[in-house]
């Protein structure tokens, strides 16, 4: 007889990502066009640039030895300098102006590792994180695993509804729960999943609120700007981090995955100084340093100007793809009652609101799979809030990975799936 074992409490709180089943479908069915996976455009991955830099790096014995050796837990210092410079130039500010130094920059194994470690660093079971509704479902899974309560506030074209956030904070203060609020999580540029961006007035309001409601205990903002550099329309807005002049409240998480290559799995954080040492202790336990070779490579890509050129190229690539999917949606669903979608200025997601239910067991999902197209059911992006409301008629469409022809075909298939639902009648509306 085998002796039983007991998983940790955290393991029992850690569930498969709901999306896994659908990803599996895509792998098993090569004819399926997936608008579900949040992958980047494969054709623009910078193979030539990476090869050139790697050749150069490995041809230099000293550089090669350094890059192939273990690095530091904190991250490669020249890269951290360049990350800080880049972040400051994006915000048109100076490090002194926002009380930052390169020591406040930590290089991580993707920004996902930073998000996870921030959770470990700040959150105890029962603590509260406030996020937009809808939001990035992978992080919801992380928070559930940590035993954290996630509360969501609605969003609109201007991103998180900060008036609703204010109401929520007032309510939490009245019920004595304000001290459990540790973190406000926002994806403030071309949000995953909606493609929407937090407006400047809302950024200011958010900062006012965290300052005002940090009474007995500080509230942090976790600004997840994973998509910031993928802007293709409109004028850039400054980060929330740039409004945190004392470097007291905002943890900025960014990544090289989207603007460069996810395969490098290198992200970074700009943090309040007081959080750096405790966070590095966690990172020491996780991996005592992210892939050193990737960091040396990125350092050279940034130094040579290849990074900026690539980001500029990507903005062209994604604009065209955005235009293709929007044109296809307009053609397919023009005049269709209840159908609407967002128009992102960057990133890789369009958020579709439909007249029919889109959930994993819906007729629309079944018809879509039968037609050979996959999307993320919008309900995965909501945490069952206090009031238990779960919108069931939305979908995330990623235009990053599919080709132009595939995007057009995918939308035609969605159109046929929607038509099949209409024929089936009211049964599919819930």
Ligand X SMILES: Cc1ncc(COP(=O)(O)O)c(C=O)c1O
Query: In this chain, which of 226, 230, 397, 421 binds ligand X, going by CB under 6 A?
Result: 226
Min dist CB 416 to ligand X, Å, is: 29
- The maximal CA–CA distance of the chain, rounded, in angstroms, is 69
H or E element in which residue 341 lies: strand 340-341
Binding flags for ligand X, 84-123, as an x/- string (CB under 6 A): --------------------------xxx-----------
Q: Which two tokens stand for residue 145?
A: 């695993």
Q: Contact, 113 vs 132, CB < 8 A?
A: no
- Nearer CB in complex with ligand X: 192/358: 192
Q: How far is CA 320 from the centre of its chain?
A: 21
What are the phi and psi torsion angles at 181 (to 5°)?
-80, 110
Min dist CB 426 to ligand X, Å, is: 35
H or E element in which residue 86 lies: helix 77-90
Q: Which two tokens stand for residue 396?
A: 């995330």
Query: In this chain, which of 18, 78, 262, 385 binds ligand X, going by CB under 6 A?
Result: 262
Per CB under 6 A, 399 contacts ligand X: no
Per CB under 6 A, 136 contacts ligand X: yes
Locus of tokens 């007991």: 6
Q: Which stretch binds ligand X (CB under 6 A): 3-11, 19-27, 257-265, 301-309?
A: 257-265
Locus of tokens 């067991």: 361
Per CB under 6 A, 186 contacts ligand X: no
If binding means CB under 6 A, how many residues of this protein chain bind ligand X?
14
How many CB atoms within 10 Å of residue 366? 16
Per CB under 6 A, 192 contacts ligand X: yes
Per CB under 6 A, 38 contacts ligand X: yes
Per CB under 6 A, 378 contacts ligand X: no
Min dist CB 256 to ligand X, Å, is: 7
Locus of tokens 């903005």: 315
Min dist CB 411 to ligand X, Å, is: 22
- Nearer CB in complex with ligand X: 187/298: 187
Per CB under 6 A, 394 contacts ligand X: no
HEC readout, 212-248? HHCCCCCCEEEEECCCCCCECCCCCCCCCHHHCCCCC
Q: Which two tokens stand for residue 212?
A: 């005002």
Q: Site residues (CB under 6 A) for ligand X?
A: 38, 110-112, 136, 187, 192, 224, 226, 255, 257, 262, 265, 267
């Amino acid at each position: 007889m085998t002796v039983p074992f007991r998983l940790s409490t955290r393991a029992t709180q850690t569930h498969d990502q709901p999306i896994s089943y659908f990803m599996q479908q895509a792998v098993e069915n090569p004819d399926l066009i997936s608008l579900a996976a949040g992958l980047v455009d494969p054709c623009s991955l910078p193979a030539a640039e990476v090869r050139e830099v790697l050749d150069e790096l490995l041809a230099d014995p000293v550089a090669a030895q350094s890059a192939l050796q273990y690095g530091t837990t904190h991250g490669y210092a020249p890269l951290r300098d360049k990350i800080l410079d880049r972040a400051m130039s994006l915000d048109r500010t100076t490090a002194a102006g926002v009380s930052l130094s390169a020591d406040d920059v930590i290089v991580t194994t993707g920004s996902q590792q930073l998000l996870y470690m921030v959770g470990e660093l700040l959150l105890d079971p029962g603590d509260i994180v406030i996020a937009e509704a809808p939001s990035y479902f992978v992080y919801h899974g992380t928070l559930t695993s940590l035993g954290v309560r996630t509360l969501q506030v609605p969003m609109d074209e201007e991103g998180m509804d900060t008036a609703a956030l204010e109401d929520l904070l007032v309510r939490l203060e009245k019920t004595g729960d304000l001290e459990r609020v540790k973190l406000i999580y926002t994806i403030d540029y071309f949000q995953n999943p909606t493609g929407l961006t937090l407006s400047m007035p809302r950024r200011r309001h958010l900062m006012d609120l965290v300052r005002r409601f940090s009474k007995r205990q500080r509230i942090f903002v976790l600004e997840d700007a994973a998509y910031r550099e993928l802007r293709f329309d409109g004028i850039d807005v400054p980060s929330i981090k740039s409004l945190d002049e004392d470097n007291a409240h905002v943890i900025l998480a960014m990544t090289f995955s989207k603007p460069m290559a996810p395969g490098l799995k290198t992200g970074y954080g700009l943090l309040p100084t007081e959080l750096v040492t405790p966070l590095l202790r966690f990172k020491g336990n996780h991996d005592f340093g992210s892939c050193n070779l990737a960091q040396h490579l990125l350092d050279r890509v940034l130094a040579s100007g290849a990074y900026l050129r690539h980001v500029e190229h990507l903005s062209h690539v994604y604009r065209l793809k955005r235009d293709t999917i929007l044109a296809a949606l307009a053609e397919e669903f023009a005049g269709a009652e209840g159908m609407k979608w967002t128009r992102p200025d960057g990133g890789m997601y369009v958020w579709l609101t439909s007249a029919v239910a889109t959930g994993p067991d819906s007729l629309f999902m079944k018809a879509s799979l039968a037609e050979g197209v996959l999307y993320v059911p919008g309900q995965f992006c909501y945490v069952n809030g206090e009031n238990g409301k779960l919108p069931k008629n939305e979908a995330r469409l990623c235009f990053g990975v599919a080709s132009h022809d595939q995007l057009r075909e995918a939308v035609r298939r969605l159109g046929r799936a929607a038509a099949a639902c209409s024929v089936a009648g009211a049964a599919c509306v819930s």
